[in-house]
Amino acid sequence: MTVKTDAEAGAEADAIDELRAQWHRERPDMAAASLDAMALVGRITRANHLLSKGMKPIFAEHGLEFPEFDVLATLRRVGAPHELTAGGLIKTAMVTSGAITNRLDKLERKGFIERHPDPSDRRAIRVRLTRAGLELVDRVVVDHVANEERMLESLSADDRRALDGALRRLLVSLGDTHLG
């Protein structure tokens, strides 16, 4: 029995269908399941790129880039006093210390965060949202979530739940069960 792809079954084709067809043409010896896996990973990667691109204008409207918003949002969601060590931010953001330092420098110049020594560890620096940073992130997150909802509006509630569950299972299987 031959299983048809969504595109073959009448669904609108996407760019990944074209890539899959090219591989099938050039490497007909590759198993359909292998091409399906390649297509799925390609779709996840491509969706990430397109969603990231779709978020940029919202952050730009507020004078931010995504990495800066990520720091502000991380500090906001940890709760009062909206403060973490620089090391805690590095773990949450999954970036190098140099990258986080660059983000913090920009945000400090803009007046959205402040840094001070950790009283319990002289080697550590604590990063805290300023009042301006807190007010900004509270405004931006509303626009950001509305934009995310807009970008996902082609998916029904059932589609969203199914995709959310499938991606959760994938992330768990890849070991992504905790921040940091």
Say what the pTM is.
0.83
Residue 94's pLDDT is 64
| Edge-to-edge strand ranges of the sheet holding 121-129 | 83-85, 121-129, 113-118
- Strand-pairing partners, residue 84, are 127
Residue 29's pLDDT is 95
Q: Can you list the alpha helix ranges (DSSP code H) found in 27-156?
A: 32-61, 66-77, 86-93, 97-109, 131-151
Per-residue pLDDT of the chain (180 residues; tens, 9 = 90+): 444 555 555 689 999 999 999 999 999 999 999 999 999 999 999 999 999 999 999 999 999 999 999 999 999 999 999 999 988 888 887 677 778 889 999 999 999 999 999 888 888 899 999 999 999 999 999 999 999 999 999 999 999 999 999 999 999 999 988 876
